[in-house]
Amino acid sequence: MNFIVTTTINAPTEALLKYSRFKEWKLIVVGDLKTPEKKYKRLKNTIYLNPNDQNKISEKLSKLIGWKCIQRRNIGYIYALKNGAKFIATVDDDNIPKQTWGKIKINKKLNYKEYNTNLNCFDPVSIFKFKNKIWHRGFPLQLVNKDKKFLIKNKKKQFDVQANLWDVNPDIDAINRIALSVEDYKFKNNFYYSSNKIAPFNSQNTILSRKAMKEYFLFPFIGRMDDIWGAYYLQSRGFKVVFGPSTVSQKRNVHDLYKDFKGEIIGYNNNLNLINNLKKNPRSIKKFVPERSYLAFKEYLKITKKL
């Protein structure tokens, strides 16, 4: 069984209704205090985890994470692992899947393009040329305007993480989004690609193997770097990510861009230093996150190690 995991406070969105119809996947909705539970109980092919359900899965982790936050999704990852998930997709409720969504490419060796870069980090958006400059959320700001040189090689290997792209509203930094007058982007690649360097990937349209999910964690209390720092940590542990064609159109929920900006400042200040530290020692993540966040992370690893 393969599972799709999401968090939401909304009634079933267009995206979630479509995810619930993928026959080879089971949708897990991790509710929060304001989520309309009854509407999800009626949704077919869907498991709804209310607050009591989540506390039963791990009361200690639940308390450490707290409520009213997207990091509740970690509880859904554990539920999927406990129920035999081979692959787990982590999605947002405003990313509307296309018909091509859900095709797993990390279950065997994959032909891909490797972008060897001269920088310390690879921006997966940087291979595309648009009128306005954009970069992936969490890519170190110090590297945004650096000259990028790529040596491209055709290779074949098996990956642990499949991070597919997103049309219309791409996942970019708030400081980047604020400067744009219009967002209507199309990623037209029909190929898969990776890099010789660590890269940011998110939790909104990504498929992970069972083994990778046991170490992928959304860190609470670090704002909008929760999934990005989880991605950096996972890769520092040796897991490999491949980026693929856009399989969703994001009709972005209403956001306060200044609030988003404030939630990303911890990343603007620390992303490059974090990457350099993780390359030397993955355990250095402890120096960058609040104590409660690290305790939640350790509890997550303790639980998933047994699954």
CA atoms of 122 and 128, how far apart (whole Å): 13
At residue 99, what are phi and psi to the nearest 5 degrees? -65, -25
Measured N-to-C along each axis, helices 257-280 and 226-236 cross at an angle, to the nearest 10 degrees, of 10
How confident is the prediction along the chain (307 residues), in pLDDT tens digits per residue?
Answer: 999 999 999 999 999 999 999 999 999 999 999 999 999 988 999 999 999 999 999 999 999 999 999 999 999 999 999 999 999 999 999 999 999 999 999 999 999 999 999 999 999 999 999 989 999 999 999 999 998 889 999 999 999 999 999 999 999 999 999 988 778 899 988 999 999 999 999 999 999 999 999 999 999 999 999 999 999 999 999 999 999 999 999 988 888 999 999 999 999 999 999 999 999 999 999 999 999 999 999 999 999 999 9
pTM for this entry: 0.97
Which domains, and CATH codes, for the chain? 2-305 (3.90.550)
- How many other C-beta atoms lie within 10 A of the C-beta of residue 156? 9
Q: Which helix (H) or strand (E) holds 232?
A: helix 226-236
